[in-house]
Amino acid sequence: MNYFIIKNIVETTLTHFACKECGSKATEQNIHILGTAGNSLNMEVICPQCQASWVIKAEMNIMGINTPPTQFVEQLKKTVENTRKNEAIKDADISKVREGLKNTKSVSDLFNM
C-alpha cells in the first residue's frame, strides 16, 4: 500500500476518531498498524485516557487515477463523515442476539430466530 494512502488514512482517523467509552481523541502514538493487504489497512487505536482498544479496518478504492491528493483527501473525509452518521450497534441489539442464541437448540433454530 502506498505510504501517502496510509498517511491519509491515519490522519483522517485522528480527525474523526473519538473513543466510544470516554470521548477522548487519539494521537499518532495511539495508532498501531497491524497490517496491510492490497488496498486494505488494519490498525488498532488505543484510547490515551481509558486504554480502551479498537480495531479499525480501512479499505481504499481508487476513485480516479488523476485525482489530485487534496481532492482525494476531501472525498475520503466526506465518506468517513457519511459513514459516521449511520447508527452504531446498540447494547440492546447485542443482548437480543445473545438471548436468541441461549434459546437455540440446533443449527436449524438459528435460521428461525
- Give the angle subtended at the CA of 112 by the CAs of 109 and 113, to the nearest 5°: 90
**Distance between start and end Cα atoms, the chain:** 41
Instruction: Write the pLDDT tens digit of every residue in 3-61.
Output: 777 888 888 888 888 888 898 999 899 999 999 887 788 999 999 999 999 899 888 76
Length of the chain: 113
| Cα torsion 21, 48, 50, 24: sign | negative
Locus of grid cell 490522519: 11
Whether pLDDT at 63 is above 70: no
The pLDDT, as a whole number, for residue 53 is 92
Q: What is the largest CA-CA distance in the chain?
A: 56
Whether pLDDT at 65 is above 60: no
This prediction has a pTM of 0.50
Q: Where are the domains of the chain?
A: 3-110
Whether pLDDT at 99 is above 90: no
